[in-house]
Amino acid sequence: LAGANSNIASNGQVKQKIAVMTSGGDSPGMNAAVRAVVRTGIYYGCDMYAVYEGYKGLLEGGDLLKPISWKDVRGFLSEGGTLIGTARCMEFKERWGRKQAAKNLIERGINALVVCGGDGSLTGADLFRHEWPSLVKELVEQDQSFTPEQVEPYKNLTIVGLVGSIDNDMSGTDSTIGAYSALERIVEMVDYIDATAKSHSRAFVVEVMGRHCGWLALMAGIATGADYIFIPERPPKKDQWQAELKEVCQRHREKGRRNNTVIVAEGAIDDELNPITSEDVKKVLVEIGLDTRVTILGHVQRGGTAVAHDRWLATLQGVDAVKAVLENTPSTPSPLIGINENKIIRMPLVESVKLTKSVAENIENKHFDKAIALRDSEFIDSYDNFIATTVQDDGSQLAPEGERLNIAIVHVGAPTAALNASTRSAVLYCLTRGHKPYGISNGFSGLINDGEVKEMKWLDVENWHNLGGSEIGTNRVLPSEDLGSVAYQFQKNKFDGCIIIGGFEGFTALKELYDARKQYPIFNIPILLIPSTISNNVPGTEYSLGTDTCLNTLVNYTDSIKQSASATRRRVFVVEVQGGHSGYIASFSGLVSGAVSVYTPEKKIDLTDIQEDIALLKENFKHDNGETKSGKIVIRNEVASDVYTTQLVANIIEESSKGKFGVRTAIPGHVQQGGVPSSKDRIFASRFAVKCIKFIEEFNKKNTKAVKNVSAISSEDAHSLKFHYDKISGEKVFNVDTEDNSCCVICITGSHLTFKPIQEVWENETDLVLRKGENIHWEEMNKIGDIISGRLMLRREL
Ligand code: ATP
């Protein structure tokens, strides 16, 4: 009874003692969650405990349920799996087991539990909370383990859930901790397979995890440019899928493809619930003469270290889990921490778990539409987009003759990893609909100088899903360099819409074309920007293509240099990252690399900060008897200060260390802009591209009137129309209208994805001097980074 009652604060309230555990299947990012929970808890003055080996640790107690300190979670961020262990524990499913667990918690005075696991673990946790009062009663009255006074402060147990699952199967949240890491592993493996498959002209059937959830298979299908996928939520007809699969693969071969990829979720079934195995799929492909191999990826999908997305997701959710514990009251339903687009959310644990379980039930009862409807709306959209660009590229989805469009695609500014992937999806979707996609070579300069416009075909783009850089070429030149030539090319090629993919230059180009509408009515067509820049500085949005790939590169880079210090120990690296006047990459790379300090252009650098760094680093190395197995990271954005250069910061820190630790600089440079796109960037690239084409289709449908006789248009119609057809030549004639909302940026803000009109974003959200948005949406990351690095605690002490 050592711990019982010992934690009652002077005001009579129970001081929070929070235990954190991981349970069920492990997933990359669980360690980041544990680290964030432990350190945030300590920051808020709580006593923190770790439960080792999942619910087994709760039942057995002893060394499996013990205090965990700040230092104990050092190095957790870079490790895969779960370092506090996980297990399946049948005894916890029994009431006696849960009573034993309650006894162990009360003995230590623990009154809150943060559980990171799948739906099984979270169901168990919620059941435990509900039974808690009766378990406590039994422990007092029947077992006489405690006196009524001893249990008085433990009337309720607080439970907060974090979803750790590679399947991404929890209803209500866009991604679970580990899902993007598993997807990245799959995509990496399929990229490797692609190379050999192309060499031998083979077909590969790749089986991925997902018993009841097809998220991994679907997203892998999109990200790897697969020909066909099988997922449990959308089972194909029992005797028809074979013919369709053959047709699709053959068609793609006829179009010139040298290999085929089919992704099969392990829980794939037909509409009679018969399993569809990878061997079944192989047999069908062999029948059409394809040299077919099967690869079952298995546990490789769970393995490895967490990608950047999972590290920041787990960190932010871990921080919020502790806040949720502190804000909890006995009447608050147990919360589950999720994410909606870019916003961390809390949702009721019980309902989310119930909905998740009902997906499997609906599949078992053949209610497939209901099952897929329980996934988030993007899941359905992504599925439809995948089918539209692969299965339905057979001419069955062509737009009516009069609605087929000419759509231009142009890359502007510095290259980022997902330019090709987004162009590929835009082109494939255009072709499915019978539109003509045109690639403009080398940005607007291509258009101005030589009018390089190329109609793009299926084979031109089919393998662009994993190519970094820009195949059509990109350039910083803006349309204002020669608006007349740009307008001439738009007219000559009869563009009905244009997609610009780029960063702040792309944003500026969009505004220039919008402003030039009065002068050149030809620009009175939908022109959209897909933000794509590692700086993430396009105003109006919180997400740009390329940032995720860049963060993954920096995660690998910082992990490697941290490790390089493991032999010599006691080394600090000042890492200079790109981003221009936007501190996004600096702030996020700080969070995902576990940096002790981050210098952003928003905050600049002053001597006090550097002094604080030195104090923090000294503190880190002070009691260090060799536990610090890796180096420490300081992140500095490239323009964070004119005076305090990366080298100067390193020199000052080194000089003050008085030989206690060494300091080096590390500058990754352009490696941050290149490379193979991450799986997340690929799927967002595809999502944005298809949404943009649909937007252009919608606009044209609403605003086109195939009126050959202009005089027949009513004056009311004439006002609202964007263009009409000349009665003599039949040519499209543009009406002057600068007020419409057809020049937009596709934006993610908080939990919303919207098309924001350029004129509004330009006027209300743009910092023109510093070339970025006015809203520094990543500011919170610095505070969270400061909590977890210990900086805020140190500041409190000083
Ligand atoms: P994954 O998604 O990886 O399968 P999970 O959390 O769903 O993760 P499970 O094996 O279902 O994994 O559950 C993990 C542990 O949670 C179980 O071994 C058991 O200890 C506990 N648990 C699961 N379901 C219940 C339940 N209904 N009641 C009590 N405890 C449960």
Q: Which of 56-65, 286-295, 565-574, 775-784 has the lowest average pLDDT?
A: 565-574
CA-CA-CA-CA torsion sign (464, 465, 467, 471): positive
Q: Which of 18-32, 33-47, 576-590, 709-723 has the lowest average pLDDT?
A: 709-723
167 is catalytic: yes
The number of the ligand 1 atom at minimal distance from the alpha carbon of 122 is 6
CA-CA-CA-CA torsion sign (373, 378, 380, 383): negative
The pLDDT value given to residue 752: 85
Tell me which of 93, 96, 167 to substitute to probe ligand 1's pocket, judged by most ligand atoms within 8 Å of the beta carbon.
Answer: 93
pLDDT band at 6 (very low <50, low <70, confident <90, very high): low
Q: Which of 258-272, 398-412, 556-570, 662-676 has the lowest average pLDDT?
A: 556-570
Tens digits of residue pLDDT in 410-459? 999 988 899 999 999 999 999 999 999 999 999 999 889 877 899 999 99
- Average pLDDT over the chain, rounded to an integer: 91
On the question of pLDDT at 628 being above 60, the answer is: no
Expressed in angstroms and rounded, the spacing between residue 163 Cα and the centre of ligand 1 is 12
User: Residue 120: CB within 6 Å of ligand 1?
Assistant: yes
On the question of pLDDT at 304 being above 70, the answer is: yes
CA-nearest residue for atom 16, ligand 1, is 121
Expressed in angstroms and rounded, the spacing between residue 28 Cα and the centre of ligand 1 is 18
Q: Cite the annotated binding site for Mg(2+) by residue number.
A: 119
The pLDDT value given to residue 727: 61
Read off the pLDDT of each residue in 237-251 and give the average, rounded to a whole number.
96
Q: What pTM, to 2 d.p., does this model score?
A: 0.94
Q: Which of 616-625, 651-660, 682-691 has the lowest average pLDDT?
A: 616-625
pLDDT band at 564 (very low <50, low <70, confident <90, very high): confident
User: Residue 97: CB within 6 Å of ligand 1?
Assistant: no
CA-nearest residue for atom 10, ligand 1, is 24
pLDDT band at 2 (very low <50, low <70, confident <90, very high): very low
User: Residue 210: CB within 6 Å of ligand 1?
Assistant: no
The pLDDT value given to residue 5: 43
φ, ψ of residue 47 in degrees (nearest 5): -90, 130
Expressed in angstroms and rounded, the spacing between residue 464 Cα and the centre of ligand 1 is 41
Residues in the chain: 798
Give the highest mean pLDDT range of 494-503, 627-636, 702-711.
494-503
Residue 91 carries which DSSP code?
G
Q: Which of 397-411, 555-569, 667-681, 687-701 has the lowest average pLDDT?
A: 555-569
Strands (DSSP E) contained in 80-208 are: 112-117, 158-163, 203-208
The number of the ligand 1 atom at minimal distance from the alpha carbon of 117 is 6
The number of the ligand 1 atom at minimal distance from the alpha carbon of 167 is 2
Question: In a 10 Å sphere around its CB, with 0-12 CB exposed, 13-18 middle and 19+ buried, how is residue 699 labelled?
Answer: buried
From the candidates 72, 126, 167, 194, which is the catalytic residue? 167
Read off the pLDDT of each residue in 710-734 and give the average, rounded to a whole number.
63
On the question of pLDDT at 714 being above 70, the answer is: no
Expressed in angstroms and rounded, the spacing between residue 169 Cα and the centre of ligand 1 is 14
The pLDDT value given to residue 749: 87
Q: Which of 204-208, 364-368, 666-670, 728-732 has the lowest average pLDDT?
A: 728-732
Contact 359, 375 (CB under 8 A): yes
Contact 715, 657 (CB under 8 A): no
φ, ψ of residue 306 in degrees (nearest 5): -70, 140
The number of the ligand 1 atom at minimal distance from the alpha carbon of 26 is 3
Cα 798 from Cα 779, distance rounded (Å): 24
User: Residue 93: CB within 6 Å of ligand 1?
Assistant: yes
pLDDT band at 1 (very low <50, low <70, confident <90, very high): very low
- State the CB neighbour count (10 A cutoff) for residue 695: 18
Read off the pLDDT of each residue in 262-282 and give the average, rounded to a whole number.
97
Expressed in angstroms and rounded, the spacing between residue 120 Cα and the centre of ligand 1 is 3
Question: In a 10 Å sphere around its CB, with 0-12 CB exposed, 13-18 middle and 19+ buried, how is residue 143 labelled?
Answer: exposed
The pLDDT value given to residue 341: 83
Tell me which of 30, 121, 349 to substitute to probe ligand 1's pocket, judged by most ligand atoms within 8 Å of the beta carbon.
Answer: 121
Cα 718 from Cα 731, distance rounded (Å): 16
User: Residue 131: CB within 6 Å of ligand 1?
Assistant: no
Read off the pLDDT of each residue in 352-371 and give the average, rounded to a whole number.
91
User: Residue 165: CB within 6 Å of ligand 1?
Assistant: yes
ipTM (interface pTM): 0.94
User: Residue 80: CB within 6 Å of ligand 1?
Assistant: no
Closest CA to 295 of 190, 182, 187, 222: 190
CA-nearest residue for atom 24, ligand 1, is 120
Tens digits of residue pLDDT in 634-648? 999 999 999 999 999
Read off the pLDDT of each residue in 337-351 and give the average, rounded to a whole number.
92
CA-nearest residue for atom 30, ligand 1, is 124
Contact 550, 673 (CB under 8 A): yes
As a dihedral over the C-alpha atoms of residue 32, residue 35, residue 37, residue 42, rounded to 10 degrees, the angle is -160
The pLDDT value given to residue 713: 59
The pLDDT value given to residue 720: 60
Q: Which of 69-73, 449-453, 690-694, 786-790 has the lowest average pLDDT?
A: 449-453
φ, ψ of residue 516 in degrees (nearest 5): -85, 5
Read off the pLDDT of each residue in 106-124 and give the average, rounded to a whole number.
96
Distances (CA, A) of 422 to 155, 234, 477, 480, 525: 54, 25, 21, 25, 21
Tens digits of residue pLDDT in 594-614? 999 999 999 878 899 899 999
Expressed in angstroms and rounded, the spacing between residue 91 Cα and the centre of ligand 1 is 11
Tens digits of residue pLDDT in 247-269? 999 999 999 999 999 999 999 99
The pLDDT value given to residue 583: 96
The pLDDT value given to residue 9: 56
Expressed in angstroms and rounded, the spacing between residue 65 Cα and the centre of ligand 1 is 19
The pLDDT value given to residue 737: 56
Tens digits of residue pLDDT in 468-497? 999 999 999 999 999 999 999 999 999 999
The number of the ligand 1 atom at minimal distance from the alpha carbon of 169 is 2
Q: Cite the annotated binding site by residue number.
A: 25, 88-89, 118-121, 165-167, 202, 209-211, 266, 293, 299-302, 476, 533-537, 571, 578-580, 638, 664, 670-673, 771
The pLDDT value given to residue 624: 59
CA-nearest residue for atom 19, ligand 1, is 89
Contact 7, 17 (CB under 8 A): yes
